[in-house]
Amino acid sequence: MQGHFLAADLTLTGADRGVVVVVAVIALAALAVGYVLLKEVLAAGQGTAKMQDIAKAVQEGAAAYLKRQRNTLLIFGSIVFLLLFALPADSTAELIGRSLFFLVGAAFSFAIGYLGMWLSTQANLRVAAASVEDGGREKAMRIAFRTGGVVGMATVGLGLFGAAVVVLVYTGMAPKVLEGFGFGAALIAMFMRVGGGIFTKAADVGADLVGKVEQNIPEDDPRNAATIADNVGDNVGDCAGMAADLFESYAVMLVAALILGSTAFGVQGLLFPLIVPALGVLTAMLGVYITKAKAGESGLTAINRSFYISALVSAVLCTAAAFIFLPTSFSELTGASETNIAGSPALVAAVAVIIGIVLAGIILWLTGYFTGTDYKPVKDVGRTALTGPATVVLAGISVGFESAVYTALVIGGAVYGAFLLSGSITVALFAIALAGTGLLTTVGVIVAMDTFGPVSDNAQGIAEMSGDVHGEGAAILTELDAVGNTTKAITKGIAIATAVLAATALFGSYLDAIKAAFAKAQNEFSNDIFTVFSPNVLVGVIIGAAVVFMFSGLAVNAVTRAAGAIVFEVRRQFREIPGIMEGTTRPEYGRVVDICTRDSLRELATPGLLAVLAPIAVGFGLGVGPLAGYLGGAIAAGTLMAVFLANSGGAWDNAKKLVEDGNHGGKGSDAHAATVIGDTVGDPFKDTAGPAINPLIKVMNLVSVLIAPAIVGLSVGADASTGVRLAIALVAAALIVVAVVVSKRRTTAIADTPVETPVSNGVS
């Protein structure tokens, strides 16, 4: 790979620019369709005054959290923005462009997350109200799914538009500038994922332990002071966090595809990765609009059918585009690093994209099997509730371990299948990136599926807290909540697959950056520095895997501490405020929301620093070879850990739903209490630590791509300095140690800490 020749070799003709302009127009069309869907959602009825009051409290809590998170991220983002200017670049324009689009990527990521949060807090009320109107089931489901459609259209629209603008403005420098765009998106998404995950699961665990277990009251009982915070958490964790996560997957995959494509296929490789997601925008529109449950049909069946139809249409359109846009011989490519390869670029691209689309379908089925209430794994977990919480926990862990193996094998098979498409490592890596873009042609529908879950969950919560929805309306919301539970689990599985493909493709970009840096330093590059049986590289592999475990442990521990604070506060209110259990006095909801906000923002710093600083410590301390091993270890361990956490948590959650539906004694039984414990253990697994691993491995890969030239320059260049290199590594390592030690010393004690109450304290 000759990544350092990109700027010289790539020139867009008028026709090429026309293609990019069309892509940008399609991206803007996605935003326009999102706006139309938005108007439709907001036009729906808003229910009773009491339902509106409850929804308003949730809206205020979510807005207060994201406002404070925004202020925190502004500080961190500003520091990173300035540090990017210290990294080497081939030109001043590239340096400025990379830093500028870091801000653009970060702003887009936060905007997508904010939109997901804001709209879901508007839609939950409307879904609850629709359940008691004419055509209740179909109407409620349509509102919930089209709410996700708005966020999905915004995700694909902003991601594709940002990439198209960079290609138009920077052309040959576009891949390098897009590194900043992807890094900004990934960094903010990781913080939103971690912070939102800590918030939502602290509230959820606290509400369950005191409300369900100790007080034996329903999940969304208004007497529980943590219920509003729990509903707020669904929006800032699942909606804001997941939307930002999938946006950065979209952006990072485009970055990797454009970097590798411009080297492997030249100009055509710079443009084709934009064409594939542009076609995905069109099929996402189709998927959102055709989602409609037939009479007597499961909502999940309707959603899955729309997904498979849109995926099939994507496969057909992308195959046609490959053979129309790409030549059938490598010798016909313009500006590619290798033109003497046998085979057809069009065929390689078409098959690679289809591999990604098929992977999405298999992951959808596989995750649904291990987390759905209709299948054996969850039924087995539910049955173990008859023997107590310990066996529930053990059964859920077993499901998580087993599902992780199958999912990892499927993802590995997709990566290897794409790799086999060419004898050239350059083309093979681009094929893997194209498989990722193929998978992401479905991202608009995936975001809609994910947002459907928390919106339906919140709708049921508002209905239960208000007491204004009964009979058929309550049954409709219960059904949609169960469907949403499964769609959330499915989209987590697909998000993990996108993360692995993106990270693998970025691994190739890392190699490209190293080769370019060696050439610039006029030193010969040797693949021997990556030999896996070399002890220093193997040490890097071990450290990379270990960082995934440390990150997961920090995230779960953060939920444990924050949830402990919620348990103390809710117990205090039951104990000290007379009339709560009788329903004559309103709990102090705002105190719980503020505790969750304060603790989640305090806790997210340590995992964030670990993600950014660990590759810096390894790279500058041990070298680019061990850093490559570090990335390999992180990708491998991250894949298994993310699937294990997500699927075990999903299985526990739906096992609880299974018992609540009347199986094994139903609500209030010992079996129900056992599944509540399992669900409580699973909450930080599936909604905090597991999903946060996705942006973690992409952030670490992007940091490595960005710092690779500096590591090489300080190791073999004219400015080589072992002292400076080791000093940077030691400072990074010391900051990690300090952050972890400070984190471990935190407690859940809140008795002596005054708590502000900026959020509405009550609902009427």
374/607 Cα distance (integer angstroms): 36
Strands of 146-302 (E only): list them: none
**Both tokens assigned to 180:** 């900043």
Torsion of CA 459, 464, 467, 470, to 10 degrees: 80
The answer to whether 484 and 148 are in contact (CB under 8 A) is no
CB 678 within 8 Å of CB 535: no
Share above pLDDT 70 across residues of the chain, in percent, rounded to a whole number? 95
Whether residue 138 contacts residue 58, with contact meaning beta carbons closer than 8 Å, is answered with no
Q: pLDDT at position 538, please?
A: 92
- pLDDT given at position 759: 43
* Count of CA atoms in the C-beta half-sphere (13 A) of 500: 31
In this predicted structure, what is the pLDDT of residue 386? Answer: 93
Q: How is 425-486 classified by DSSP, letter by letter?
A: HHHHHHHHHHHHHHHGGGHHHHHHHHHHHHHHHHHHHHHHHHT---HHHHHHHHHHHHHHHH
When the pLDDT of each residue in the chain is averaged and rounded to a whole number, the result is: 85
pTM for the structure as a whole: 0.86
pLDDT given at position 76: 82
| Each residue's pLDDT tens digit, 180-207 | 888 888 888 888 888 888 888 888 888 8
* CA 663, chain centre distance (Å): 33
Residue 174 · residue 167 · CB < 8 Å: yes
Decide if pLDDT at 268 tops 80.
Answer: yes
Three-state SS sequence of 111-175: HHHHHHHHHHHHHHHHHHHHCCCCCHHHHHHHHHHHHHHHHHHHHHHHHHHHHHHHHHHHHHHHH
How many Cβ atoms from other residues are within 10 Å of residue 450's Cβ? 30
Report pLDDT for 113.
Answer: 86
> What pLDDT shows up at residue 763?
43
How far apart, in whole angstroms, are the C-alpha atoms of residue 658 and residue 27? 42
Give the single-character DSSP code of 293: P
Q: Give 757's pLDDT tier (boundaries 50, 70, 90).
A: very low
Residue 716 has pLDDT above 90, yes or no: no
More confident residue, 747 or 174: 174
pLDDT at 728 over 70: yes
Q: Is the pLDDT of residue 412 over 50?
A: yes
Return the pLDDT at 384. Answer: 95
Q: What is the mean pLDDT of residues 577-599?
A: 84
R_g of the chain, CA atoms, integer Å: 25
Domain ranges, ordered by start, for the chain? 3-744
Residue 404 region by backbone torsions, left for phi larger than 0, else alpha for psi between -120 and 50, else beta = alpha
- pLDDT score recorded for residue 10: 62
Give residue for tokens 């966020």.
Answer: 151
Tokens of 202: 């602290």
Which among 742, 754, 763, 744 is positioned nearest to 595, based on CA atoms?
754
Query: Is 60 exceeded by the pLDDT of residue 758?
Result: no
Q: Check: CB of residue 757 under 8 Å from CB of residue 590.
A: yes
- pLDDT at residue 196 in the model: 84
Predicted pLDDT of residue 42 = 92
Residue 311: CB atoms within 10 A of its CB come to 24
Amino acid at 383: R
* Per-residue confidence (pLDDT) for residue 695, from 0 to 100: 85
| Higher-confidence position of 764 and 496 | 496
- Greater confidence, 329 or 22? 22
Quick one: pLDDT at residue 220? 73
Confidence of residue 747 (pLDDT cuts 50, 70, 90): low
Average pLDDT over residues 317-328: 92
∠ Cα 346 352 354 (to 5°): 105
The string of DSSP letters for 241-277 reads HHHHHHHHHHHHHHHHHHHHHHHHTTHHHHHHHHHHH
Residue corresponding to tokens 């198209």: 164
CB 652 within 8 A of CB 489: no
Burial 402-440 (b: 16+ CB within 10 A, else e): ebbebbbebbeebbebbbebbebebbbbbbbbbbbbbbb
* Cα→Cα distances 379→209, 368, 644, 652, Å: 24, 13, 18, 10
pLDDT-derived band at 352 (thresholds 50, 70, 90) equals very high
